[in-house]
Amino acid sequence: MSDVNPYGTSQEFASQPLDTGLGTRSLVIKRIDPVSFGKIFGGLYAIFGLVWGGLVMLMAFAGIAVDRASAPIGAGIAAGLFGLILFPILFFIFGFIGGAIGAAVFNLAAGFLGGVKIDVEA
């Protein structure tokens, strides 16, 4: 494996790995790709959106069951399905934006402070 930064900068991806003597090495994360991090966060948030959308759907269907006389059934079903479909999409978008901004802020801070040390096993 190469120690060169895969993002094309002249900086090394990690400083010389330090052997801790326990079968682990210390590496330093100096940069996170904002688009990649945004996709990961967006995917995780889409799962949360699916859960919340399911809860909205259950509440809409419960509202239909409780009071069928005053609320049209079609509106409750539409609201429930709308939440189930729209929430994961919106959560993905906002998760992607938040993850990308978070990675950009990390990159800025790591440039000044030197990154985050992690220990990995070989």
| Domain-embedded: residue 13 | no
Q: For 67-108, write each residue's pLDDT tens digit.
A: 766 667 777 778 888 888 999 999 999 999 999 999 999 999
**Do residues 49 and 92 touch, judged by C-beta distance below 8 A?**
yes
Assess if residue 41 is contained within a domain.
yes
Nearest-10 Cα torsion for 67, 69, 70, 74? 90
Of 95, 116, 91, the closest CA to residue 32 belongs to 116
Query: Is position 21 within any domain?
Result: no
Does residue 9 register a pLDDT over 50? Answer: no
Q: d(Cα 55, Cα 71) in Å, to the nearest integer?
A: 19
Is residue 9 in some structural domain?
Answer: no
Which tens digits make up the pLDDT trace of 17-68? 555 566 778 888 899 999 999 999 999 999 999 999 999 888 888 877 777 6
**Rounded CA gap, 18 and 70, in Å?**
70
What is the model's pLDDT at position 17?
Answer: 55
Q: Tokens in use for 114?
A: 């030197």
Residue 55 included in any domain: yes
* pLDDT value for 12: 47
Average pLDDT, the chain: 82
- pLDDT confidence of 3, banded at 50, 70, 90? low
Structural domain including 46 reads 34-109
Q: What distances in angstroms separate CA 80 from CA 30, 53, 70, 91, 92, one per listed residue? A: 44, 8, 17, 16, 19
46 in any annotated domain: yes
Q: pTM of the predicted model, to two decimals?
A: 0.70
**CB within 8 Å of 23: residues ≥ 6 apart:** 121, 122
Q: How many domains does the chain have?
A: 1
